[in-house]
Structure 1
Amino acid sequence: MEKLSLLTTEQSNPKTSRLDEMSIEDILNTMNDEDQTVALAVRQVIPQIEKTIEKVVEAFKNGGRLLYVGAGTSGRIGVMDAVECPPTFGTSPALVKAVLAGGKGAMYHAVEGAEDDEALGAKDLTDLQINNRDVIIGIAASGRTPYVKGALAYARSCGATTVSLSNNEASIISDYADIPIEVITGPEILTGSTRLRAATSHKMVLNMISTTAMVKTGKVYQNLMVDLNVSNFKLRERAKKMVCMITELDENKAESILIETEYNVKLAIVMILAEVDKETAQSLIEAAGGFVVKAVKHDPEGEG
């Protein structure tokens, strides 16, 4: 068994060796200083993140899924990113899904021993019928969590694309990944508490992956989330603002077209900009693979 004490994420940070004696202001300034190094660490692995996104886009275009697998904080970060995709991008809850060691209850309460169960990681993916069109991202700050290792090993045996996300060099889970992403964030401010900088890096990387993949599959027009699920007053107002901004229509006209499309922002925009009826606009969007810019130009083969 590997020694956890040798992992970078388990080392003591010399800058905070007297954390308990610091003033509140000093603690906050130190935390802020240390947090600023996270983005720089993420920048070092952008080539690996790019490769991952390319695989995710390919998966989405071919009926595959993106699945995050993790335990504890790492798994919860995966859940947070996955559950935001349907409201933000109008996707099915099955397209981006998180698998958390210990099940849904582990989101709120630690499930003892779940992260140490390698066989459970494989079983949880077995239940999801993983196939070679899927992309599985195993997340573990330590890079050695048995649950994640078991999940990645099983996913690889199914032919799925496997990606690891960890915070230590030469992580064990990297050996089970087609694309290893090792974000070296270093020792934590509070020794071993990877819910701090390591977890921040996980959120940043997963945000980059899911958001960019959605951009590259037609879920965004310009820098606007035109496929959002309009489910409340705030989002109705946001939808109206987007349509007005893009089409330069007044609010009343924009709202009337949104009502006609049942607040389908993308459909409303294409109707207005392409000057077509609802049915034709829908056909243009489908022919363009969901990309508004292609649909408006009646150019399904154009650059996305």
Structure 2
Amino acid sequence: MTIRSTEARHPAAQGLHRQPAAQAMALLLEAQRGALAALVPAIPALGRAAEAGVAALRGGGRMGYAGAGSSGLMALADCLELPGTFGLAPDRTPMLFAGGPDALLRMHGGVEDDPALALADLDRAGLGRGDALLVVSASGTTPYALAVATAARARGVTVTGIANVAGSALLDAAEIAVLLDTGAEMVAGSTRMGAATAQKVALNMISVMVGIGLGHVHDGQMVNLIADNAKLVDRAARIVAELAGVPRPEAEAALARTGGAVKPAILVARGAAPDTASDALRDSGGHLAPLMG
């Protein structure tokens, strides 16, 4: 029987338990850095995944996430950040997590082996033609992830499969295959380590490119954020002031005129009427760049 690369023993782990704490932690950190190298050859596929997400969301569809265990947690972490960072409504980015909310407090391994649960979650999410789905599984063989990917693709969903083992079933089942070949873990089989680190960075890259493609990132600023706490209200004002080139009080006044919406507030601070700003953004597909002169 062939051992999956994520289950093999890392050569640097020999005698790890005998190392002084500082040395052991240095080895653990180096392994995490090494895992990130797997992202380099995956960049073209990650770009296609982002393009699929942009196409789905721009067309009125949704971009969902799916996974189980630690891989599911990485997907969930990215998914939950999208409303605050990019202003995407939660119903536009559904999360399919094996075991649902209960599994977030106590992880139950059995749920990841249940294809029927996966299909029920997919039915509940209602994903179909015109939507995109990011499915994450370190081994690429998790039954929950495979069932979701296979059924979603049959329903016309553009499925991106992200796995850490070459030739795995998830990569074969997906329309867009993203291999993050992170290899052996410092604790053999503990894919919450190098594999999960690479997954989280990959998902960060995809979602940021989706934000850029939708016009929600301009010069590295989150110009479509939802300012629902004091920190973000302050950030919104700083963004408007910086990008519009106006003093802070003028930025705050512009935000008040746009109901806190950052993109139109930037144009209002530059002299546009609120209605004119909204119309211009609609015509530019939500992108500020063509409107900034």
- Which bin holds the TM-score, normalised by the shorter protein? over 0.9
Shift of 1:248: 2.1
Structure 1 residue 199 corresponds to structure 2 residue 196: yes
Structure 1 residue 61 corresponds to structure 2 residue 58: yes
The residue correspondences of 1:120-135 to structure 2 (distance < 5 A) are 120-135=117-132
Read off the aligned partner of 2:81 and give its amino acid letter.
E
Higher mean alpha-carbon deviation, 6-15 vs 248-257, is at: 248-257
The alpha-carbon distance between structure 1 residues 272 and 253, as it changes in their structure 2 partners (threshold 3 A), is closer
Aligned to 1:286: 282
Aligned to 1:185: 182
Read off the aligned partner of 1:182 and give its amino acid letter.
L
Shift of 1:9: 0.1
Shift of 1:40: 1.3
Q: How many residues align?
A: 293
User: Secondary structure in 2 aligned to 1:113?
Assistant: helix
- TM-score by length of structure 1 reads 0.93
Shift of 1:112: 4.0
Shift of 1:111: 2.4
Aligned to 1:51: 48
Whole-angstrom distance in 1 between the partners of 2:265 and 2:59: 27
Aligned to 2:291: 295
Aligned to 2:19: 22
- TM-score by length of structure 2 reads 0.96
Structure 1 residue 235 corresponds to structure 2 residue 232: yes
Aligned to 2:138: 141
Match of 1:164 among 156, 161, 165: 161
Shift of 1:282: 0.8
Match of 1:118 among 115, 134, 142: 115
User: Secondary structure in 2 aligned to 1:6?
Assistant: coil
Whole-angstrom distance in 2 between the partners of 1:44 and 1:112: 31
Read off the aligned partner of 1:78 and give its amino acid letter.
A
Shift of 1:97: 2.3
Read off the aligned partner of 2:84 and give its amino acid letter.
P
Runs (4+) of structure 1 exceeding 6 A deviation are none
User: Secondary structure in 2 aligned to 1:164?
Assistant: strand
Structure 1 residue 70 corresponds to structure 2 residue 61: no
Contact kept in structure 1, 2:69 and 2:109, CA below 8 Å: no
Structure 1 residue 32 corresponds to structure 2 residue 29: yes
Aligned to 1:87: 84
Match of 1:13 among 10, 26, 38: 10
Whole-angstrom distance in 2 between the partners of 1:69 and 1:232: 28
* Seq. identity, %: 32
Whole-angstrom distance in 2 between the partners of 1:266 and 1:292: 7
- Superimposed CA distance per residue, residues 16-52 of structure 1 (whole angstroms, 9 cap, x where no aligned partner): 1211111100111101111111221111111111111
Whole-angstrom distance in 2 between the partners of 1:90 and 1:291: 14
Read off the aligned partner of 2:112 and give its amino acid letter.
E
Whole-angstrom distance in 2 between the partners of 1:63 and 1:258: 26
Give the superposed CA RMSD.
Answer: 1.3
Return 5+ residue gaps in structure 2 as ranges.
none
Read off the aligned partner of 1:268 and give its amino acid letter.
A
Shift of 1:295: 3.4
Contact kept in structure 2, 1:219 and 1:227, CA below 8 Å: yes
Aligned to 1:302: none
